[in-house]
Amino acid sequence: MHPIARTLVPCGHVTLGYAELLLKDIKPDKFARLAQGQGGPVNSIHPAFAFGHLSTYPEKLMGMLGREPGEAKTPEGFEEVFSAGLDCKDDPEGTLYPPMQKVVDHFFQSHRTLLAAMEDASDDLLLQENPMEGEMKVRFPTKGTMFAFMLGAHTMMHLGQVSFWRRCMGLGPVM
């Protein structure tokens, strides 16, 4: 593995380990429910939205590696309910979001596919200019900095929302 990939890939695997811990004790009928506070629902992100949203990025990142998405291909309908900028909605009937197993399976499958592909990424590739436009290109000027953000900070930010949700739902911390 090239030096930059050797730095990024292990961090991605640690992040996936944390994601696995957060899923402990979450029941499918609660997966897409907003957190509950003393006064009722909390304006928050539930695990369905967090995991679904995060599962849409590996396909895009595979493209930045010059690879076909393969097992990272985003399932039909995910972009319509999990894209950035969309509101996370309470789903007591289980009709707005895909089932927990489908979301979780795709999250792990897509991320593991991406991490495996990254093992072959050369430093030259990861030092190339980030092809994104606007603020994302300004903040993350190279493909490598974009990968570092997406696999680390972005993922952990949303997993932190799941950690908050767990506490509101009485499930407690996992670490």
Express each pLDDT in 78-96 by its tens digit.
999 999 999 999 999 999 9
**Is the distance from CB of 90 to CB of 29 less than 8 angstroms?**
no
pLDDT(104) > 90? yes
pLDDT(172) > 90? no
Global pTM reads 0.96
Question: What is the architecture of the domain spanning 3-168?
Answer: Up-down Bundle (1.20)
Q: What are phi and psi of 37, to 5 degrees?
A: -105, -170
Convert the pLDDT of each residue in 46-60 to its tens digit: 999 999 999 999 999
Q: What pLDDT does 37 receive?
A: 82
